Amino acid sequence: MELANGMNVAQAIDPDKKSRKASKETRQQQLIEATIDSLAKRGYSDTTLANVADGAKLSRGIVNFHFESKEKLLVSTLQYMADEYAGHWNAALQKADRSAAGRIWALVNADFDRKICTKRKLAAWCAFWGEAKSRPTYQALCGASDLNYQRTFVGLCTELKAEGGYAYDPEPMALGICSMMEGLWFRLMMNDGLTRDKALRAAIEYVAAVFPKHISTDGVKKI
């Protein structure tokens, strides 16, 4: 039922409902961020509801209220990270030059953007990847995201092959590009001296060598 001012009855009876919902989402986000911190600092097996609560500066009862168990909290954290990553690269595609080369350039740069590529998040990803083999839920979340990402690259490699007359097979080429960038993420996580900027430069050198008619180390070529 709607009142004269456009407010429904539920809102009139409970004006704080919206603020309570926002508070619930804020608490859940705090706990997810604290879980990422704990995974990066302690690893998967040593992350507990207690140290997540402490990291979020919330009571342990709040963690149980929102997530009930460590497994549910971890699944929610992985879902959040997968959604964040997918949203990031899809946004990069939407803003990119509409050419296939422009979209590949955008995807490579997006993978090493400081919003998504941090040692903290990379370490959390590695913690989940280490557990994925024995946990079907993790496999499903990670696998669906990876498959969609790789299919995007297959499509772009197919377009560039048609445009440039390259000799490669698009599917293994796309797999190679995706694997190259995953490998650079692992190197960054290992903290062996590789910087984010150097990793991005290495990825750019790779795609420039693969698509020399379309991409240089300075950007997309005008054809």
CB 117 within 8 A of CB 110: no
Domain boundaries, the chain: 1-68, 77-220
More confidently predicted of 1 and 83: 83
Mean of the per-residue pLDDT values for the chain? 87
- 1-68 and 77-220 in the same fold: no
Please tell me the CATH superfamily of domain 77-220, with its number.
Tetracycline Repressor, domain 2 (1.10.357.10)
Please tell me the CATH superfamily of domain 1-68, with its number.
Homeodomain-like (1.10.10.60)
Q: What is the total residue count of the chain? A: 223
Q: What is the pLDDT of residue 138?
A: 78
Give me the residues paired with residue 2 across strands: 8
Mean local confidence (pLDDT), 91-97: 95
Q: Which of 200, 197, 203 is nearest to 180 (CA)?
A: 203
Q: What is the pLDDT of residue 8?
A: 52
Q: What is the pLDDT of residue 25?
A: 85
Q: What is the pLDDT of residue 20?
A: 45
Confidence of residue 2 (pLDDT cuts 50, 70, 90): very low
Contacts of 163 (CB under 8 A, 6+ apart): 100, 213, 214, 223
Q: How many CA atoms lie within 13 A of 203 on its CB side?
A: 28
pLDDT tens-place string over residues 105-123: 999 999 999 999 999 999 9
More confidently predicted of 53 and 133: 53
CB 18 within 8 A of CB 36: no
Mean local confidence (pLDDT), 180-205: 93
Distance from C-alpha of 63 to C-alpha of 177, rounded to nearest angstrom: 39
**Whether the predicted pLDDT of 19 surpasses 50:** no
pLDDT tens-place string over residues 127-181: 888 777 778 787 787 777 788 899 999 999 999 999 999 999 999 999 999 999 9
Mean local confidence (pLDDT), 9-24: 51
Q: Torsions phi, psi of 111, nearest 5?
A: -65, -25
pLDDT tens-place string over residues 37-50: 999 999 988 999 99
Model-level pTM?
0.83
- Residue 145 to residues 87, 149, 175: CA-CA distances in angstroms? 11, 6, 14
Name the amino acid, one letter, at 122: L
Distance from C-alpha of 171 to C-alpha of 161, rounded to nearest angstrom: 11
Q: What is the pLDDT of residue 139?
A: 78
The listed range with the strongest mean pLDDT (69-78, 138-147, 195-204) is 195-204
Q: Which of 188, 183, 209 is nearest to 104 (CA)?
A: 209
Helices then strands (H, E): number in the chain?
Answer: 10, 2
User: Which structure tokens are listed for 65?
Assistant: 């209220």
**Whether the predicted pLDDT of 15 surpasses 80:** no
**Whether the predicted pLDDT of 218 surpasses 50:** yes
Q: Torsions phi, psi of 166, nearest 5?
A: -70, 155
Three-state SS at 115: coil
Confidence of residue 66 (pLDDT cuts 50, 70, 90): confident
Q: Torsions phi, psi of 137, nearest 5?
A: -65, -40
Distance from C-alpha of 78 to C-alpha of 86, rounded to nearest angstrom: 12
pLDDT tens-place string over residues 27-37: 889 999 999 99
Q: What is the pLDDT of residue 131?
A: 79
